[in-house]
Structure 1
Amino acid sequence: MKYRADIDGLRALAVVPVVLYHVGVPGFAGGFVGVDIFFVISGYLICGMIDADIRNGSFSLGNFYKRRILRILPALFVMFLVTSVFAYIYFLPAELIGYAKSLASAIGSVSNAYFAQTSGYFDAPAETKPLLHTWSLSVEEQFYFIAPLLMLFVYRRFPKRARLLFAVIAAISFAAAIAMSMRNANFTFYLTPFRAWELALGAMLAIKFIPVPETTFWKNICGGAGLLLLIGVILLGSASVPLLLMTSLACLGAVLVIASSESGVSMAGRLLSLPPLVAIGLISYSLYLWHWPLIVFQRTDLLFGAESAASTKLTLITLAVGLAYLSWKLVELPFRSMARETSKGAVFGAASAAMGSTFALCALVFFASGAPYRFPQRVVDIGTYLAYDSSAAFRTGRCFISANRQRFDAETCLKLDPARPNYLLIGDSHAAHLWSGLSAAMPQVNIMQATASECRPAVPAERRGGLKACRDVMELAFNDFLVNNRVDKVILAASWKDEDLPNLSATLDTLKSRGIDVVVLGPIVEYAAALPRLLSDGILRDHPALASTKRTPGIRERDHVMSALVKAHGASYSSVYDAVCRDGHCDEFVEADIPMQFDEGHLTDKGAAEVGRRLSAVFGNKLTRTSNVSN
């Protein structure tokens, strides 16, 4: 295929919004669709080259994979090397083990599957995963492996129907993505079968299955519409818009832009061929590789400081562009120039050696338990809570639903006890983390549990995340169980936000009209990062008050507002914040080196036991009064 400067310009239009979105520059809320633009470009270029080579009889699988290795791996491995050094210096043992797993999966071109499986609600946030962005590379690498094999088979066995191949793939993949989006949003986002339609769209354009405009008028209409669509999605879109709608619009825009210059350059093509855009497009691969690790390590305060958020963002962008240029100039270009003079055996051998060595280092991290000798023992002990498993305490998969594939166990979680007062705890994970502590502190009470991830206790159900089961759990609790069974108390708890208060008011009115006694538990103190990480950093930096400087603002004020609101609606209110924080000080440890919380806000089992004890002491009379009346 002949070189097209406009496609390098389109690469710039893809990578710049991704970088700005990740850095946090305002106005680019839809910038993440740049990855989808890359998928369309890759499908167009790769399948176009394969198609041309197969048709003229010059295609070689060995040469194809050799070129892909020289194009992708050298710059990728340099990024891996530098990132791994920083990870070794900074990451606590649990974090280093997680990093090694992500590195091994990236080397094996399956990091998209790894992150799809590990990006649960309680998993470490994206900002702590320096290799998270390799998921998209794994999607492309899997496509590179499968596409030429499929094309060879179909072109030889069914040459007259060869062009239908990618249309069928696109249709099946898109239909599967729609179906999966209703069950598991993570899988839809990360996994190749549900992204293949995007690459297939580019392939369909390359093999001329999709018609292209021939006249100047229609070329300009096509290109202009595509650019407007892309810019509109990038500037006006957001993560709250359904993913498939965003990606569909972005891919359609990319197809229109590429098609507009397929048989002669359009106005959009000329615009994208401007030297500054082409220059960014040339370094776009390296820019994508480097920008995310820089952002992650900057957020750990490991790289550099800045006087303001704006200067930090500008410094990050400048550094990312500088590293990208060096990577392109010193790594990408030299290795790509070796394509003709280097044998396949040498390339495959060097790649295998590099991959094998990296796998061995990852295995060493596992066997060394994350190299704890790098830190003082107290830091290691605190850091173990970064790998804390909350499933037993939360009763995950039974009474706390955190994934669509899980089913609520009503027989266990809503079992009435005729010998004790029965209270029903309803809410999200911030209700679930209190269940064990409240149950232990008040053994005279049967506390039932109906909780789901990011699911506010409201009538009707209010779902904040992508969990479809939220509505089912809330409907069961409010409109089935409470309608058909008598309980002594309903306890509502959640990670309350200001926007939840109108629905909370309506819910309290609904429950009051049914004659149900309600206690609302307020929000708990939260932090900008996982509390064990902050506590460890405070020790390592000799800054004992570090965690207190990272508290999420506004929660104390929200606690006061909620107290007045709940009492105005005739319900009882208990402050979880006050159970943890007093006189401007928040308890960060339960005892010794056991943190109160294992992430930004959720309680450890010991933390839940302590908070449950304090809450029972504060409002125990409110909760047990019914018990005295019943007996």
Structure 2
Amino acid sequence: MKYRADIDGLRALAVVPVVLYHAGVPGFPGGFVGVDIFFVISGYLICGMIDADIRKETFSLGSFYKRRALRILPALFVMFLVTSVLAYVYCLPVELEDYARSLASAAGSISNVYFAGTAGYFDAPAETKPLLHTWSLGVEEQFYLIVPLAMLLAWRVAPKRAGLLFAVAAVLSFAAALAISYRNTTFVFYLTPFRAWELALGALLSIGFIPAPRTAFWKTACGAMGILLLLVAILVGSPSAPLLLMTALASVGATLVIASSESGVSTVGRLLSLRPVAFIGLISYSLYLWHWPLMVFQRTDGLLLANSSGIVTKLALIAASTGIAFLSWKFVETPFRSKARETSKATVFAMSSAAMASALAMCGLVLFVGGAPFRFPERVVSIASYLAYDPSAAFRSGQCYLASSRQQLDTPACLKLDAKRPNYLLVGDSHAAHLWFGLSSSMPEVNVLQATASLCRPAVQPGSRHDTPFCRRLMDFVFGNFLVNNKVDKILLAASWKDEDLPILSATLRILKSRGFDVTVLGPIVEYDSALPRLLADEILQNNPAVAGTMRKAGVLERDRAMRRVVAAEGAAYVSVYDSVCRNGVCDEFAEADIPLQFDAGHLTAKGSVVVGRRLSTAFIGKLARADDVSN
């Protein structure tokens, strides 16, 4: 295929929003869709080249994979090497082990599968994973593995129907993504079968199945509409918007922009072809590779600047990422690509295999030595071990706390009434689940029932953006079935409350009050911008006891006070979880000795739950004593 400067310009339009979004620059809430633009470009270029070679009967799988290896692997493995050195210097043992697993998966082109099982892209813990961004490379590399074989087969079996076959595959991929998005958006985000339709859009354009405009008017209109869709997604979109809406806007927009210059450069194509814009596109691959690790290590360890203002740090990160990207493009990408013809396939595959084997061996060594704990003081290692804390037992995961739609509430175990004790029903999300152990331990005279699920706000009626089908099923069962047919003495509502939840909470309290239920709302707990064990380890390493305090999330105290007023106005009781942990601007960080109160940015350890549960129980003990007096 002939070189198109407008596609390099489109690459710039893909990578710049991604970098700005990750850097936290305001005004780009949907910048993450730049990855979707890359997918469409890859599908267009790769399938276009394969199609042209197949038609000329010059296509070779070996040559194709050699070109892909020289295009992708040199810059990728240089980034791996530098990032691994930084990880060894800065990452705590648990973090280094996690890094080793992610490196092994990235080297094996399956990092999207690894991250699908370990972290949501928009979750706070994801911000500390230096190789998280390689998930998109995993999608593309899996695409490169499958598509050449599929196109060869299609052209040999049904050459006149090849385009139709790929169109059917694209529709099936989108339909599957739509169906699964109601159950597991993380899988839809990361996994190739649910992203294939985006790459297929570019492929269908390149093989002529999607027609390109021919007249000047329609080329201009096509390009303008494409740019408009992209700008809407990037500048107006949001991580909280439906994922498929965001990806569709970006993917269709990118397809229209490419199509507009398919039969001659359009007005939009000329703008994208401007030298400064096209140059950013040239270094876009390296810029994508380097920006995220730099941002992670700046966020967790102050790699570039310490104690600087947010604006200065963001500018420094963008400048450093761009500078390193230029060096990578100039001295790594370009030299290796220029040697494509003179380097044999055997040499390329041998070097690629050796690099992958070396990376895997290094990962194995890191895991064998347990993350190299000898690099840090013993107390730091002890505290940092809670970064790998497993809350399953305390949460009663898979039984009374549901983390996915595949799990079912164990009604006999979680909602068993006790005729000899008051029955309190705890309903909510993981921030309700982390209180169950402490409340039940601190109030043995109470039978604390539990019905909790991930991200599930305790609401009688739908309305929360977190209302997944399996969450709604649980809430409908609790409020529309269990409480209708069973009597409890008190309902406890708890969640990781946000400001947007207050109207839904008010409506729920009104409904429950009308049904005669005694309701207590447990407010939000203090949360941090990073995992608390990491912050506590940093306090020791930096000899600065104020590290965790400066990283508390803003607005939680204000939300706690606002919730108290809302709950009081509805005639229900309110108990401040925040006040049980924080007093006079100082928050408890340890449950006891070197055991952190919370194991991540907000959830309590078992010991922490007991400490908090004991303090919260004082709000109920007096009422329990009075109830005993009445019964006697």
TM-score with structure 1 length normalisation? 0.97
* Alignment of 1:296 onto 2:296: yes
Partner residue, 2:104: 104
* Alignment of 1:556 onto 2:563: no
Q: 1:143, 1:208 → 2: CA distance?
A: 20
Q: Name the SS for the 1:455 alignment partner.
A: coil
Counterpart of 1:395, as a letter, is R
- 1:414-563 to structure 2, matched below 5 A, reads 414-465=415-466, 467-563=468-564
Q: 2:488, 2:121 → 1: CA distance?
A: 30
Whether the aligned pair in 1 keeps the contact of 2:442 and 2:613 (CA below 8 Å) is: yes
Partner residue, 1:216: 216
Q: 1:520, 1:623 → 2: CA distance?
A: 17
The number of residues matched between the two structures is: 631
Q: Name the SS for the 1:416 alignment partner.
A: coil
Q: 1:624, 1:367 → 2: CA distance?
A: 55
Q: 2:629, 2:140 → 1: CA distance?
A: 65
State the Cα distance separating 1:419 from its structure 2 match.
1.8
State the Cα distance separating 1:213 from its structure 2 match.
1.3
Q: 1:481, 1:233 → 2: CA distance?
A: 42
Q: 2:241, 2:562 → 1: CA distance?
A: 30
Q: Name the SS for the 1:241 alignment partner.
A: coil
Partner residue, 1:287: 287
- 1:107-122 to structure 2, matched below 5 A, reads 107-119=107-119
Partner residue, 2:587: 586
Partner residue, 1:72: 72
Counterpart of 2:420, as a letter, is A
The share of aligned pairs that are identical, in percent, is 70
Change (3 A) 1:228 1:124: closer
Task: Say which is worse superposed, 183-192 or 299-308, in terms of deviation.
Answer: 299-308
Q: 1:29, 1:121 → 2: CA distance?
A: 14
Counterpart of 2:621, as a letter, is G
State the Cα distance separating 1:558 from its structure 2 match.
2.7
Q: 2:536, 2:66 → 1: CA distance?
A: 47
State the Cα distance separating 1:124 from its structure 2 match.
6.3
Change (3 A) 1:545 1:514: same
Partner residue, 1:407: 408
Q: Name the SS for the 1:389 alignment partner.
A: coil
Partner residue, 1:596: 597
Deviations 1:489-526 (A, max 9, x none): 11111222223223222222222222211222222111
Task: Say which is worse superposed, 459-468 or 512-521, in terms of deviation.
Answer: 459-468
Partner residue, 1:13: 13
* Alignment of 1:379 onto 2:401: no
Deviations 1:541-589 (A, max 9, x none): 0012211222222322332333343334332222222222233322111
State the Cα distance separating 1:93 from its structure 2 match.
0.8
Deviations 1:10-55 (A, max 9, x none): 1111111111111111111111111111111101100111111111
Partner residue, 2:242: 242
Change (3 A) 1:249 1:588: same
Whether the aligned pair in 2 keeps the contact of 1:462 and 1:471 (CA below 8 Å) is: no
Change (3 A) 1:595 1:328: same
Q: 1:121, 1:262 → 2: CA distance?
A: 34
Q: Name the SS for the 2:493 alignment partner.
A: strand
Whether the aligned pair in 1 keeps the contact of 2:464 and 2:504 (CA below 8 Å) is: no
Q: Name the SS for the 2:132 alignment partner.
A: coil
Partner residue, 2:4: 4
Partner residue, 2:147: 147
State the Cα distance separating 1:279 from its structure 2 match.
0.4
Partner residue, 2:323: 322
Counterpart of 1:336, as a letter, is R
Deviations 1:193-240 (A, max 9, x none): 000011111111111111111122221111122112212221121122
Q: Name the SS for the 2:117 alignment partner.
A: helix
Structure 1, unmatched stretches of 5+, are none
Counterpart of 1:334, as a letter, is P
Counterpart of 1:550, as a letter, is M
Task: Say which is worse superposed, 567-576 or 162-171, in terms of deviation.
Answer: 567-576
Counterpart of 1:552, as a letter, is K
* Alignment of 1:81 onto 2:81: yes
* Alignment of 1:183 onto 2:183: yes
State the Cα distance separating 1:624 from its structure 2 match.
5.0
State the Cα distance separating 1:618 from its structure 2 match.
4.3
Q: 1:555, 1:518 → 2: CA distance?
A: 22
Q: 1:309, 1:253 → 2: CA distance?
A: 32
Whether the aligned pair in 1 keeps the contact of 2:456 and 2:467 (CA below 8 Å) is: no
State the Cα distance separating 1:299 from its structure 2 match.
0.7
Task: Say which is worse superposed, 322-331 or 544-553, in terms of deviation.
Answer: 544-553
Whether the aligned pair in 2 keeps the contact of 1:455 and 1:464 (CA below 8 Å) is: no
Deviations 1:114-138 (A, max 9, x none): 1111126998611101111100001
Change (3 A) 1:358 1:124: farther
State the Cα distance separating 1:469 from its structure 2 match.
1.6
How large is the RMSD of aligned CA atoms in angstroms? 1.7
Partner residue, 1:60: 60
State the Cα distance separating 1:298 from its structure 2 match.
1.1
Q: Name the SS for the 2:491 alignment partner.
A: strand
Q: 1:271, 1:122 → 2: CA distance?
A: 32
Task: Say which is worse superposed, 379-388 or 145-154, in terms of deviation.
Answer: 145-154
* Alignment of 1:305 onto 2:335: no
State the Cα distance separating 1:628 from its structure 2 match.
4.8
Whether the aligned pair in 1 keeps the contact of 2:97 and 2:366 (CA below 8 Å) is: yes
Q: Name the SS for the 2:452 alignment partner.
A: strand
Q: Name the SS for the 1:426 alignment partner.
A: strand
Partner residue, 1:95: 95
Counterpart of 2:149, as a letter, is L
State the Cα distance separating 1:340 from its structure 2 match.
0.5
Task: Say which is worse superposed, 471-480 or 276-285, in terms of deviation.
Answer: 471-480
Change (3 A) 1:482 1:53: same
Partner residue, 1:255: 255
Q: Name the SS for the 2:426 alignment partner.
A: strand
Q: 1:44, 1:482 → 2: CA distance?
A: 56
Q: 1:538, 1:216 → 2: CA distance?
A: 63
Whether the aligned pair in 2 keeps the contact of 1:129 and 1:296 (CA below 8 Å) is: yes
Counterpart of 1:432, as a letter, is A
Q: Name the SS for the 1:486 alignment partner.
A: coil
Q: 1:209, 1:561 → 2: CA distance?
A: 56
Partner residue, 1:572: 573
Partner residue, 2:22: 22
Q: 1:122, 1:337 → 2: CA distance?
A: 38
Whether the aligned pair in 2 keeps the contact of 1:456 and 1:464 (CA below 8 Å) is: no
Counterpart of 2:580, as a letter, is A
Partner residue, 1:40: 40
State the Cα distance separating 1:67 from its structure 2 match.
0.5
Change (3 A) 1:358 1:143: same
Whether the aligned pair in 2 keeps the contact of 1:286 and 1:325 (CA below 8 Å) is: yes
Counterpart of 1:509, as a letter, is R
Task: Say which is worse superposed, 558-567 or 93-102, in terms of deviation.
Answer: 558-567
- 1:124-143 to structure 2, matched below 5 A, reads 125-143=125-143
Q: 2:158, 2:330 → 1: CA distance?
A: 43
Q: 1:402, 1:418 → 2: CA distance?
A: 30
Q: 2:84, 2:393 → 1: CA distance?
A: 33
State the Cα distance separating 1:623 from its structure 2 match.
4.4
